[in-house]
Homo-oligomer: A and B are copies of this chain.
Amino acid sequence: MKPHSPDLARRGLLAGSATALASVGLARVAQAQTAAAPAKPLPGYVAWKNPDHLIMHTGNTLETKRSAFGTSVITPAERLYVRNNLPAPDVAIVANRDAWAVAIEGVRQPRTLSVAELKTLGIETVAAVLQCSGNGRGYFAGKPSGTKWQVGAAGCVIWSGVPLRNVVAALGGLADGARFITGTGGEQLPAGLDPKDVIVERSVPIKALDDALLAWEMNGEPVPHAHGGPLRLIVPGYSGVNNIKYVKRLAFTAAETDAKIQRTGYRMSPPGTKGDPSFPAVWEMDVKSWINGPAPEAGPVKAGWVQIHGVAMGGTRALRRIDVSVDGGQTWKEARFVGPDLGRFAWRQFVLPVKLEPGQYVLASRAQDTQFNWQVEATPENAGGFLNSGWRVHALPITVV
């Protein structure tokens, strides 16, 4: 956490009304602004986010700072990363959220349903890690192309909507031969290109039907436009790209879509090769963890008792154990999970109190899931730089004074 959090003053400024400014006092707001590191302005569609806690790689790729995760389990929308494969659709689509429609195909009675209709079919709520497939790419030695995400293309959020299985049941059940759930995003496609080359359309195995949601709510508010509102397909345990924003078509299909983003993109292909359907698709996430604090952004750490904390996730499985090292993985101590357990798709916060003398330390963590799978020491390099969960490259050097 930043010692001089400018959150409130910033919010006061954002409010921008005469009332707000008069109340907090212009002088004090100016003071708080000076105290904070100057942050690049964010693009308009995410101007409501807090730039102090984000790393802006590009206008479509915003990363949460390691120091901004806190210890409250959930990631507030203002701090959540953004990664768009295409520019977001016009914001007018959230003017009447209940009118947004999704075409359901590959069921016995295919039809188009509005959000208002979906809301009559059921309610479920799930806490899940949302993590970009390329989170950790910046730590691959092979320097794969793409955004050099560190740890912050991830967050833990609470989604609420209708279970996809309820929708299927209401439409007579699956058609014969359905083996994949194929979702299509509502982004406008750039003109002059083959739609197949640019459309955001992904297929996941039909087994994901057990947990998938069509979500209209995130962390207690309508899903923000920047995060896929009015309606987003949520596939808990699957990496970000599989969670289709502005979902406008949902088909239960016999084969994977032949959209480029599925056929050749997001494949676990060896370095130097092109992706193709013979390589595994980027789907389920792995067991992974990392340290969030003390964060190096906050400067040197004071000697004495230090609460080392971070987050750990099991992908699609619950966790059974988390270890922490202060010597880069030479020795380990079991840490303690803290706070509520939000279920197997969420991450858990962990903490280990240690007494540190002045010196240099390398903080690392490794998680184990309930099937005794340890987080790997190193994820093999792959052409796209996907799913990096190796604990060694995620280690964090700190200076104690």
A residues engaging B (CB < 8 A)?
A: 1, 3-5, 7-9, 11-12, 14-17, 19-25, 28, 31-32, 35, 41-45, 47-48, 69-79, 90-92, 94-98, 116, 119-127, 158-160, 216-222, 224-225, 229, 302, 304-307, 309, 338-343, 346, 349, 351, 353
Contacts and interface: CB of A to CB of B under 8 A. Distances in A.
Contacts of A7: 94, 221-222, 224
B12 A14 contact: no
A219 B12 contact: no
A50 to B, nearest CB: 8
Given A28-B91, A91-B24, A307-B119, A219 B74 contact: yes
Nearest to A13: B16
Identify the 6 closest CB pairs spanning chains A and B, nearest first. A23-B44, A125-B339, A11-B48, A20-B47, A16-B16, A15-B47
Contact of A97 (B4, B17, B19, B342): B4
Contacts of A32: 95
Contact of A122 (B5, B41, B307): B307
Nearest to A225: B8
5 contacts: A19-B44, A25-B92, A70-B221, A74-B158, A340-B342
A73 B307 contact: no
Contacts of A24: 44-45, 91
Contacts of A96: 3-4, 35
A125 to B, nearest CB: 3
Residue with the highest number of chain B CB atoms closer than 10 Å, among A1, A77, A216: A1
Given A28-B95, A95-B32, A98-B3, A73 B23 contact: no
Nearest to A158: B72
Contacts of A12: 44, 47-48, 91
Tell me what chain A mostly uses at the interface: helix, strand, loop, or mixed: mixed
A3 B19 CA distance: 29
- How many monomers of this chain does the complex have? 2
Given A17-B47, A35-B96, A120-B304, 9 more contacts: A3-B97, A8-B224, A22-B44, A25-B90, A72-B217, A76-B76, A122-B353, A126-B340, A158-B340
Given A160-B72, A219-B74, A123 B338 contact: yes
Given A28-B91, A342-B340, A45 B72 contact: no
B14 A16 contact: yes
A338 B95 contact: no
Nearest to A98: B3
Nearest to A19: B44
A225 B11 CA distance: 11
A241 B11 CA distance: 26
A12 B92 CA distance: 12
Contacts of A229: 8
For A15, A217, A343, which residue has the most chain B Cβ atoms within 10 angstroms? Answer: A15
Nearest to A222: B5
A128 to B, nearest CB: 10
Contacts of A79: 220-221
A125 B340 contact: yes
A19 B5 contact: no
A215 to B, nearest CB: 9
Given A20-B44, A47-B19, A158 B8 contact: no
A1 B342 contact: no
A76 B219 contact: yes
Contacts of A44: 12, 15, 17, 19-24
A220 B116 CA distance: 31
Given A221-B79, A224-B7, A158 B73 contact: yes
